[in-house]
């Protein structure tokens, strides 16, 4: 895959993510996807395989009434790509950490992607 093909997959994935379109997200995901979310240096969510990824995506869509990841930078090298993102989400529920429904969450982070068979096979979100 060339850089433009990787960018197109990442763009499709994020567009679907921002729209809460789980089927759209899964359309660009390899069946053997490896996903993990790292916050503050600790893994707080992970999924192995498309079924676990779907379940995690369905759970996470109930947490936010809106969400948006915006790409600030994109770099590709070999079978990998890395993006820096600005993230904004509005909570649909109260969280155990004290954040309340309707509150906005904003953060900067990065996502690392791996590719195989023309699909995204690995995603690591880091904030």
Asked if 25 and 13 touch (Cβ cutoff 8 Å), the reply is yes
Residue 16 has pLDDT above 90, yes or no: yes
Vertex 82: Cα angle to 42 and 21 (nearest 5): 80
Q: What is the pLDDT of residues 59-118, one digit of tens each?
A: 988 999 999 999 999 999 999 999 999 999 999 999 888 999 999 999 999 999 999 999
Q: Round to whole Å and give the CA distance between 51 and 55.
A: 6
For the chain, domains (ranges, CATH) are: 3-126 (3.10.450.50)
pLDDT of residue 118: 95
pTM: 0.92
Asked if 84 and 92 touch (Cβ cutoff 8 Å), the reply is no
Q: What is the pLDDT of residues 24-49, one digit of tens each?
A: 999 999 999 999 999 889 999 999 99
DSSP one-letter code for 90: E
pLDDT of residue 114: 98
């Amino acid at each position: 895959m060339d850089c433009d093909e990787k960018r197109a997959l990442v763009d499709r994935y994020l567009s679907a993510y921002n729209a809460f379109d789980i089927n759209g997200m899964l359309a660009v995901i390899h069946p053997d996807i490896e996903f993990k979310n790292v916050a503050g240096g600790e893994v707080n969510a992970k999924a192995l395989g498309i079924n676990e990824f779907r379940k995690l995506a369905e759970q996470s869509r109930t947490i936010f009434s809106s969400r948006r990841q915006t790409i600030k930078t994109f770099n590709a090298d070999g079978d990998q790509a890395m993006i820096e993102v600005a993230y904004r989400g509005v909570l649909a529920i109260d969280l155990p950490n004290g954040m309340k429904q309707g509150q906005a969450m904003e953060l900067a982070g990065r996502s690392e992607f791996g590719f195989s068979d023309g699909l995204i096979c690995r995603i690591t979100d880091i904030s």
